[in-house]
Amino acid sequence: MDVKRLVAQMTLEEKAGLCSGEDFWHTKAVERLGIPATMVSDGPHGLRKQDEKVDHLGVNDSIKAVCFPTACATAASFDRALVTKLGEALGDECQHENVSVVLGPAVNIKRSPLCGRNFEYFSEDPYLAGEMACAHIHGVQSRNVGTSIKHFACNSQEHRRMSSSSEVDERTLREIYFPAFEAAVKREQPWTVMCSYNRINGVYASENKWLLTDVLRGEWGFNGYAVSDWGAVADRVKGIQAGLDLEMPGSGGYNDKKIVKAVREGRLDEKLVDQACERILNIVYRFVENRKPDTPWDKEAQHALAADIAADCMVLLKNEGDALPLKKGDSVAFIGEFAAAPRFQGGGSSHINSFKITSALDAAKEAGLKVRYAQGYSVREDAATDAMIAEAVQAAREAKTAVVFAGLPDSYESEGYDRAHMRMPECQNRLIEAVAAANPNTVVVLHNGSPVEMPWIGKVRAVLEAYLGGQAVGQAAVRVLFGDVNPSGHLAESFPLRLEDNPSYLYYLGEGNRTEYREGVFVGYRYYDKKQMDVLFPFGHGLSYTTFAYSNLRLDFGKSVLEEGDTVKAAVTVKNTGRRFGKAVVQLYVGAVNADPIRPVRELKGFEKVALQPGEEKDVFFTLDKRAFAMWNTQIHDWYVPAGQYRIEAGDSSRNLPLRTEITLSDSRELPRHYDMNSVFVDLMADPKAKALLKPIMEESSRKFAGEQNEGQTDAAKEAVSEEMGEAMMRYMPLRALVSFGASEDTARALEEIIRRIND
Ligand code: BGC
């Protein structure tokens, strides 16, 4: 379709109208010109297509669909191919249902365990979040259906989400909060990007030109349309100017009129309205012209896929004395209401109307397993009666193994608000304690969207983190518990011991409408590692029923200066040293050894999921580009690799990295210099050009300084100004100090001249 020609035929009113939705879920049609409406729908771990009664927070039902594992679970798979499969299934559903764009993936960084939407987000780590986003988008868009990566940007809390300003420094934005969006835009070109509700450093995302135009399009090359989060538009005219193409839902025409008025009054360039229309229509026609309405939607097959995916996402957190897997003939008690009615997704706009739900109890029965059930607690009441506990204890006593299904009820975490604490329900903690006291063979299965405190961790033998694993989570749990599937998930987030340990703890939620991201780049394990703090479970952690050995970390890079496009190749050998088939997650971290500039100890820069038969070994290859070593430099506003040693570590969690090597690297570019009389000696001496020019003056002053020190000094005076102190004072003295402390006028003039030459 020649979209430009079409837009040229539209009236200003039609164009302004096209820049907002017809209703909650449709773009506008322009019948006069044959422009069709297209539908967008929520997800992204299933399709939430609302047919008639529409609203955006899931109050009204949507069509029956398949709820796949949520992002907190899929990220733990560390499996790109698996996430792509989920995306493909979703894309097929959308073709079947005539949905042009599925709203997701959501890639906001888990700054705090408390964020109400953490279950929808992938990780505390920007690299992992970016890889998962790319995999998801790749899958959906391979079916000619668009995605809407969201919420751009810095929407890491629900509290005051429509008004709060996320105050984030430039480096932190670039290193932590942007990279998942950046990777997705550069590599997968999501058809649309959804801006967040909040403001960023004072400016609403929906009217932030720097964000939506300069960075998103100018730097990253985005070519789809930018859409507002639902109701995120504050000033529509500013939005058009900033590059926000589509307002959703509509505003009943209110904002469209403002656009028209602003153009008529010469306050808004009509070309910008044309541009927004072209961007919207490009996507509308990309979908319409590639429709595959005959795509089948086999819900049962997708339910089976949801079970396969969920099983590969589960994280075995603890497994003392090989308590798991359970033997199929053993007597087992399933305790806790979540065994019969699992919590498998979260509340809000991503809520899927599942066509079917398989609980662990259903799955066990179906598999003919001997399992006894005790309710243990009531989810609705959020309480456990004495009788419930007594029944659970009895069941636990009479079984070889007691499996408690626990976690967070819906009311504990949801879109729209944040958690106030990191605890599990008191009644569930009490139940676990009672069951563990009755049977030392107690296993806990957790259904939650974000970390919880585990006061009973020392009393149970095993913990399986099932997260919010989608509608088939029960089937997946039974397969993992009984060893049909060997668990291979690894944590995409740290589990701190206590909420107070989290780096954002002091500032999270902010004051009034301002929330300062004061911990900067030290989010999650970047903080815990730097502070050498104990955590309950570290980022990247996950056990298996087999064992893996890592060896032979090798690097291939023949030089020490990194130019744009250069890559450092790394390889690791991993071997299955146990007796079961299993999947290892090989993780590669990079860290600068130098303490200046201030950087995290290590950052994830590569991972691969590797399937291995017993005894089998494989080489795993990684490509580290310049970015893997770079940090954001606020002087040049670009990525830069500070010269120095870099440590490369490999292993199976951020705290288990048996392989380590180092490499010396520097950036091919030189940072611009600007020195003056206030510059200090140590900085100048680190600069070869400055050092050479200043050498004679430096030598002379050191001689003089040392001479003055020695001449006729009493012992007491020598003690007062030690050699170390003299040296340190000299190192950190500004050049002007030479003049203050007695350099001749000639020397002072010579210095000024030298500074001029260095700056040139
Ligand atoms: C959410 C989005 C969602 C939209 C449409 C908003 O409240 O923040 O994630 O896609 O509603 O339902």
- When pLDDT is cut at 50, 70 and 90, the band that residue 152 belongs to is very high
Q: What confidence score (pLDDT) does residue 721 get?
A: 66
Residues 283 and 305 in one domain: no
Q: What confidence score (pLDDT) does residue 707 get?
A: 61
Residues 15 and 126 in one domain: yes
- DSSP one-letter string for 412-462: GSBTTB--S-SPPPHHHHHHHHHHHHH-S-EEEEEE-SS----TTGGG-SE
Q: What confidence score (pLDDT) does residue 58 get?
A: 54
Q: What confidence score (pLDDT) does residue 708 get?
A: 61
Q: Is residue 378 part of a domain?
A: yes
Closest CA to 187 of 146, 224, 134, 145: 134
Q: How far is CA 555 from the centre of its chain?
A: 28
> Which range of residues forms the domain containing residue 167?
3-65+86-288
Is the pLDDT assigned to residue 584 strictly greater than 80? yes
CATH number of 406's domain: 3.40.50.1700
d(C-alpha 528, C-alpha 601), whole Å:
10
Q: Is residue 76 part of a domain?
A: no
Q: Is residue 508 part of a domain?
A: no
Residues 314 and 234 in one domain: no
The per-residue pLDDT for range 697-748, each reduced to its tens digit, is: 777 776 766 666 566 666 766 666 677 777 777 788 898 888 888 778 888 8
Q: Is residue 81 part of a domain?
A: no
d(C-alpha 171, C-alpha 294), whole Å:
48
Is the pLDDT assigned to residue 46 strictly greater than 60? yes
Q: Is residue 509 part of a domain?
A: no
Residues with Cβ within 8 Å of residue 95, at least 6 apart in sequence:
143, 144, 145, 291, 292, 293, 295
Q: What is the mean pLDDT of the chain?
A: 95
Q: Is residue 515 part of a domain?
A: no
How large is the average pLDDT for residues 624-628?
A: 97
CATH number of 569's domain: 2.60.40.10
CA 342 to ligand 1 center in whole angstroms: 24
The per-residue pLDDT for range 364-423, each reduced to its tens digit, is: 999 999 899 999 999 999 999 999 999 999 999 999 999 999 999 999 999 999 999 999
The per-residue pLDDT for range 57-105, each reduced to its tens digit, is: 555 679 999 999 999 999 999 999 999 999 999 999 999 999 999 999 9
Q: Is residue 512 part of a domain?
A: no
Length of the chain: 760
Q: Are 402 and 441 in contact (CB under 8 A)?
A: yes
Q: What confidence score (pLDDT) does residue 87 get?
A: 98
Residues 278 and 363 in one domain: no
In this structure, how many other beta carbons lie within 10 angstroms of the beta carbon of residue 619?
11
Residues 606 and 710 in one domain: no
Alpha-carbon distances, residue 368 vs 363, 365, 399, 409, 478 (angstroms): 9, 5, 17, 29, 11
Quick one: which H or E segment has residue 735? Answer: none
- 621, 640, 667: which is the final residue of a domain? 667
Residues 229 and 323 in one domain: no
Tokens of 707: 């001479």
Ligand 1 atom at minimum distance from 151 CA: 9
Q: What confidence score (pLDDT) does residue 740 get?
A: 83
CA 742 to ligand 1 center in whole angstroms: 68
Is the pLDDT assigned to residue 491 strictly greater than 70? yes
Q: What confidence score (pLDDT) does residue 711 get?
A: 62
Residues 304 and 284 in one domain: no
Is the pLDDT assigned to residue 31 strictly greater than 70? yes
CA 376 to ligand 1 center in whole angstroms: 35
d(C-alpha 455, C-alpha 457), whole Å:
6
Is the pLDDT assigned to residue 54 strictly greater than 70? no
Q: Which of the following is catalytic: 79, 92, 229, 256?
A: 229
Closest CA to 80 of 707, 518, 569, 585: 585
Residues 277 and 305 in one domain: no
Residues 614 and 725 in one domain: no
Count up the domains in the chain and report the number.
Answer: 4
Q: Is 709 exposed, middle or buried (0-12, 13-18, 19+ CB in 10 A)?
A: middle
The per-residue pLDDT for range 209-222, each reduced to its tens digit, is: 999 999 999 999 99
- DSSP one-letter string for 323-363: --SPPTTS-EEEESGGGTS---S-BSTT---BS----HHHH
Render the burial of 624-648: b for 16+ CB within 10 Å, e for the rest. bebbbbbbbbeeeeebbbbebebbb
Residue nearest to atom 3 of ligand 1 (CA): 349
Residues 336 and 421 in one domain: yes
Q: Model-level pTM?
A: 0.96
Q: What confidence score (pLDDT) does residue 710 get?
A: 60
Our answer on whether the CB atom of 40 is closer than 6 Å to any ligand 1 atom is: no
534 is catalytic: no
The per-residue pLDDT for range 651-693, each reduced to its tens digit, is: 999 999 999 999 999 999 989 888 999 999 888 888 888 888 8
d(C-alpha 245, C-alpha 236), whole Å:
10
- 448, 465, 493: which is the final residue of a domain? 493
Is the pLDDT assigned to residue 313 strictly greater than 70? yes
Closest CA to 145 of 92, 221, 82, 181: 92
How large is the average pLDDT for residues 300-322?
A: 97
CA 403 to ligand 1 center in whole angstroms: 36
Q: Is residue 730 part of a domain?
A: yes
Residues 155 and 176 in one domain: yes
Our answer on whether the CB atom of 103 is closer than 6 Å to any ligand 1 atom is: yes
- 264, 288, 312: which is the final residue of a domain? 288
Residue nearest to atom 7 of ligand 1 (CA): 230
Ligand 1 atom at minimum distance from 57 CA: 12
Ligand 1 atom at minimum distance from 196 CA: 8
CA 56 to ligand 1 center in whole angstroms: 7
Closest CA to 653 of 499, 485, 524: 524
Is the pLDDT assigned to residue 553 strictly greater than 90? yes
Give percent above pLDDT 90 in the chain. Answer: 86
Residues 236 and 368 in one domain: no
Identify which of 349, 414, 418 to mutate to test ligand 1's pocket (most ligand atoms within 8 A of the CB): 349
Is the pLDDT assigned to residue 642 strictly greater than 80? yes
Tokens of 567: 């890559």
CATH number of 132's domain: 3.20.20.300
Residue type, position 691, single letter:
K
Q: Are 671 and 634 in contact (CB under 8 A)?
A: no
